[in-house]
Every structure is written in C-alpha cells, then in structure tokens.
Amino acid sequence: QVQLVESGGGLVQAGGSLRLSCAASGRTFGRSAMAWFRQAPGEEREFIAAINWNSVTYYAESVEGRFTISRDNAKNTVYLQMDSLKPEDTALYYCAADGKGRPFNTLTYDYWGQGTQVTVSS
C-alpha cells in the first residue's frame, strides 16, 4: 500500500527557515511528478511547488524565491526548503505524488500525505 509521510514542520519566527520532508513507501516515484500544497483553516488547498521526473520545478508566486523543492530518487523522498518564512505561510503542508497533468491542480495527484503543521510567528 502506498504511503506518504511528511515531517519537519514546527514553530518558527518570521524570517526563519524549515525543511520539510516527504518519504514515500509502497512504490517508487522517480519517474513521476511530486508536489507540495498547503491549507490554512477555512481556506482551500493551495499549490506551493512541484517537481517532475526530470527535475523541472514549478512554484507559486507567493513562495518563489523563498522556497525550494527538490527530490532524492534513491530515497524516494521529496523536500521543501522554506526560507524567509512569513506569518502568512502558516498552514498544514501536504505532499502529493504521482502527478499526471497540470502541476498546480490537486486533481493531478493520486497520493497524499497526512500533512505537517508549519506555524510562523511574527
């Protein structure tokens, strides 16, 4: 059974950094797209970043220049390095795998993790 497990969330002050990890098991995703989304209370799930099999990356305008997505196919893991964090980055962050289609669309992905909380204080 496929599972995606996020880790690395926590509480950080504005301007600080966090690195999120998403470890996949049950199958390999080295030749498919993976992505990060986030969801704040009362808001819809928001696209953050994606990376395809050839390491082409896509970013939401709100995080471009501050966040970096990467993958380690040998570990079947995708990462999100978050720098210069802002209070508005506070949300539950989800990883998604096996993307087929537009990278920013939630329906593109077949598998999702349970999320890891990121809280940024002012």
pLDDT tens for the chain, 122 residues long, are 999 999 999 999 999 999 999 999 998 888 889 999 999 999 999 999 999 988 899 999 999 999 999 999 999 999 999 999 999 999 999 999 988 888 889 999 999 999 999 999 99
Q: Which amino acid is at 91?
A: A
